[in-house]
């Protein structure tokens, strides 16, 4: 398993993976030393995450290899279909997966997402529009949603 640390607008990010794909991307609460050497297997992830934060990338094209239960993997796969700049509620996601009664299990799987930003769990919100349940902190969820859907100032003229 290879590891790299990069600095992002939301803090230091740890990226892990190998030839089978990315297994983990997480934002850290601690300050890390940014990696000077990027392992070959992680170059695309670093490049694409930087593009995302610069605002020039809306969709990732990376080989993913997250570890989880079959149910978690189904939820994470469904998250990949939530478009950039859009949100769904946990209820909506449960409905897409075919069982609205599984809303708590869907929320729990969403919270266990090991691939921060790339699997866009930040795009899932409460049914009332609230920014609930984000492992990276609600302030980061708000930042990501604002980044993906910035309010454009309308011209008066």
Res 108: pLDDT: 94
Selecting among 121, 124, 125, 145, the annotated active-site residue is 121
Which helix or strand (DSSP H or E) is residue 5 part of? strand 2-8
Q: Counting Cβ atoms within 10 Å, is residue 155 exposed (0-12), middle (13-18) or buried (19+)?
A: exposed
* Residue given tokens 């809306």 in the structure block: 58
Instruction: For residue 121, indicate whether it is catalytic.
Output: yes
Contact 116, 26 (CB under 8 A): yes
Question: DSSP letters of 109-131?
Answer: HHHT-SBTTTS-GGGEE-TTS--
Q: Using CA atoms of 33, 36, 41, 47 in order, give the dihedral in degrees to the nearest 10.
A: 90
Question: DSSP letters of 56-75?
Answer: --SS----B-----HHHHHH
pLDDT tens readout for residues 96-139: 999 989 999 999 999 999 999 999 999 999 989 898 878 888 99
Mean pLDDT computed over 92-96: 96
* pTM > 0.85: yes or no: yes
Mean pLDDT computed over 40-48: 97
């Amino acid at each position: 398993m290879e590891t790299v640390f990069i600095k992002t607008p939301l803090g230091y990010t740890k990226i892990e993976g190998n030839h089978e794909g990315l297994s983990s991307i997480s934002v850290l609460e601690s300050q890390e030393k940014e990696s000077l050497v990027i392992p070959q297997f992680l170059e695309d992830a670093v490049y694409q995450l930087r593009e995302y934060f610069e605002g020039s990338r809306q969709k990732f094209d990376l080989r993913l290899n997250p570890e989880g239960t079959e149910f978690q993997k189904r939820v994470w796969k469904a998250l990949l279909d939530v478009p950039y700049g859009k949100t769904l509620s946990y209820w909506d996601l449960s409905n897409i997966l075919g069982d609205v009664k599984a809303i708590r299990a869907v929320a729990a799987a969403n919270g266990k997402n090991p691939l921060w930003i790339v699997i866009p769990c930040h795009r899932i919100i409460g049914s009332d529009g609230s920014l609930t349940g984000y492992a990276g902190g609600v302030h980061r969820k708000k930042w990501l949603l604002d980044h993906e859907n910035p309010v454009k100032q309308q011209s008066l003229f």
